[in-house]
Amino acid sequence: MQLQLNRRSSVPMYRQLATQLREQIISGELAEGYRLPPERELAARLEVNRTTILQAYQQLKDEGLIASKVGKGTFVLPQAIESTLPASSEQALLTSPISAAIPNAGSSAHTQVQVIRRVSSSDHAEPIVVRPPWSVLFSDYSNRFTYHDIASAERAQRGDTVIDFATGSPNPADIPDDLLRSVSLEAFASHEFDGQPESPIEGFSELRELLAAHMRTRGVHCNARNVMVLSGSEQGIDLCVRAFINPGDCVLVEQSTFFPALQAFRSADARIVGMPMDDYGMRTDLLEGYCARFHPKFIYTIPTFQNPTGSTLPAARRKELIDVARRYQCLIIEDDAYGELWYGGADEESAAVADGVIRGAVGGESRGATGGENRCKASDEAGGHSGQRPVPLKGMENAGYVMYLSTFSKTVTSGLRTGWIVADPHVIDRLAALRRMVDQHTSTSSQRICLELLKEGRIAEHVTTLTAAYRGRRDTAVAALERYAMQGMTWNVPEGGYYIWVTLPDGVRSLDVLDRCRAEGVTFMPGSVFDVDETDDSHIRLNIVHPDAGDIERGIRMICESM
């Protein structure tokens, strides 16, 4: 089987591969029953992502050329399929050449192909049903998505779970009913809301002014012209991709990152390269070499309370990241969904609890001793409990290389689909023009609610209360890990945000643990969902703010006992 892919071609590589395999199957070069190489083996041979092989195979399956049998492999189907069955058949079952083409294929093989036939008991054959060849009909844009990533993420969050560490949203009980009720009533009763005037595509000017003022408190020097209101920060990622990425452009990301961002880059046929990480986030000491080799158009990063690892990029690395981006004229998308949720300003008792946990781990007083030592190093470089709030990358440069994204969904409620982007006015104008094709403006109701939240410091008061509660849950989770973790487990101690990133002991697979935990009513996210190469099976992500505080210790104990 001879295969050769042209990486400079405008035709996606999965389509090149599908075309070559199709020609070899139809010509008879690949005979009926020929076993195709496994996805991982062929991906390694062709030096492509496994997703490319999966998409090519799926297209050929939809065309009825190949089929898979669990535990056996993927095989070439017969080129011709009989249109009728013997009239003497008295059962509504199929006996088809397809079954013969796949070793030990049973009735399950019939679901793998597009032609479905039934014979009634009265010996009259029903018409042939031919399903549409979906992979051929779907656009290249939609075919570039790796739906198995989304499916695995949804499976991790489905079911009647008792303790949910998987969902990437806050606990609804942490949002005071009176806050949203009073804010909504005031927003809808205001004179400005009369008749629900249509919003400019960039957002209401008053809201843009308030957001610019809010960003200045974070150290970002901007004005309303630099701000556009979005229907969630994910819309900002999509718009930036549409505005800047051409097929084949390189995007650098952290090796483990926000998987909807990966989907957005894949949809544009970008080349995604994962940057190595350590306890402090992206390895910026390697960034110069990566930029020199790949010449990226974008660097997408979550430098503050990163999703999924919870790490925070130290100030020195932030400066290095910006300096390298300037030298190579590479844009930076800074995703700061969790930046408001800084646990700093902790009282002495809470800080002592966290420090005591680290010291106890270093002293080997728990089964997670190795992890404690790593956490202590991370705290030293990142500032630990120094009381210094991380300054966004956008606050460290003013030339326009950084495009900053944030959202209200992580601090107020996930149902409030309102975010914003801070960027050069030229970028704002271009994104607004692109947005007109799909979304005229953010909901006026959501914008009015956000206006009221930003007025008179209401959102600041709410976040202060929220982070105090989250800091307590962080300490509870860390203490539980110290108490119940297996030897060889390590984890971070986040300075803010939602997540603790746990490294499993050697030989323990995250998906195996997830299966056992879900049976017991506990769920979390496996590391492979976030991994650029989709191969990380040694980490799990725990959302420590979503479960009720009283369930955290029990849930972590059950996770540790299931390994």
- Residue 137, pLDDT > 60, answer yes
**What SS3 class is residue 87?**
coil
Of residues 399, 422, 410, the one with CA closest to residue 202: 422
Q: What is the pLDDT of residues 467-492, one digit of tens each?
A: 999 999 999 999 999 999 999 999 99
- Residue 376, pLDDT > 50, answer no
Distances (CA, A) of 435 to 150, 203, 227, 228, 429: 25, 12, 14, 11, 10
Q: What is the pLDDT of residues 380-426, one digit of tens each?
A: 444 444 468 899 999 999 899 999 999 988 887 766 778 999 999 99
Q: What is the pLDDT of residues 200-214, one digit of tens each?
A: 888 889 999 999 999
Q: Which of 47-51, 212-216, 323-327, 414-418 has the lowest mean pLDDT?
A: 414-418
Distance CA 61, CA 75 (A): 10
**Mean pLDDT in the chain?**
80
Q: What is the separation, in whole angstroms, between the first and last Cα of the chain?
A: 42
**What SS3 class is residue 553?**
helix
> What is the full DSSP assignment across 175-214?
S-HHHHHHHHHHHHHSGGGTT-PPPPTT--HHHHHHHHHH
Indicate if the alpha-carbon torsion angle 434, 437, 440, 442 is positive or negative. negative
- Assess contact for 542 and 308: CB atoms under 8 A: no
Higher-confidence position of 521 and 459:
521
- Assess contact for 462 and 411: CB atoms under 8 A: yes
Confidence band, pLDDT 50/70/90 cuts, at residue 105: very low
Question: What does the pLDDT read at residue 134?
Answer: 67
- Residue 529, pLDDT > 50, answer yes
SS3 content of the chain, % helix, strand, coil (to 5): 45, 15, 40
Give the total residue count for the chain.
563
Token readout for 270 is 């970008």
How deeply is 10 buried, as exposed, middle or buried, from its count of CB atoms within 10 A (0-12, 13-18, 19+)?
exposed
Question: What does the pLDDT read at residue 96?
Answer: 41
- Which residue in this structure is represented by tokens 């007109």? 436
Average pLDDT over residues 138-153: 62
Question: What does the pLDDT read at residue 200?
Answer: 84
> What is the full DSSP assignment across 112-158?
GSSEE--B-TTS-BPPPEE---HHHHS-HHHHTS-HHHHHHHHHHH-
Alpha-carbon torsion, ordered 404, 408, 411, 416, to 10 deg:
-150
Cis bond before residue 547 (omega within 30° of 0) = no
> What is the full DSSP assignment across 296-355?
-SEEEE--SS-TTT-----HHHHHHHHHHHHHTT-EEEEE-TTTT-B--S--HHHHHHHH
Question: What does the pLDDT read at residue 151?
Answer: 53
The type of residue at 410 is K
- Residue 460, pLDDT > 80, answer yes
The type of residue at 121 is S
- Which residue in this structure is represented by tokens 């004005």? 223
Domains in the chain, CATH or no CATH each: 13-76 (1.10.10.10), 145-174+463-562 (3.90.1150.10), 177-345+388-456 (3.40.640.10)
Token readout for 560 is 């540790």
Higher-confidence position of 309 and 548:
309
Question: What does the pLDDT read at residue 348?
Answer: 41
The type of residue at 491 is W
Q: What is the pLDDT of residues 171-205, one digit of tens each?
A: 888 877 667 666 666 666 665 555 556 778 888 89
Q: Which of 129-133, 245-249, 303-307 has the lowest mean pLDDT?
A: 129-133
Q: Which long-range contacts (CB under 8 A, 24 or more apart) does 284-287 make?
A: 284/313, 284/317, 284/320, 284/321, 284/324, 285/320, 287/252, 287/320, 287/321, 287/324
Beta strand pairing call for 250-254 and 271-275: parallel
Question: What does the pLDDT read at residue 173?
Answer: 81
- Assess contact for 335 and 258: CB atoms under 8 A: yes
- Which residue in this structure is represented by tokens 């590479």? 330
Q: Is 33 left (phi over 0), alpha (psi -120 to 50) or beta?
A: left
The type of residue at 250 is C
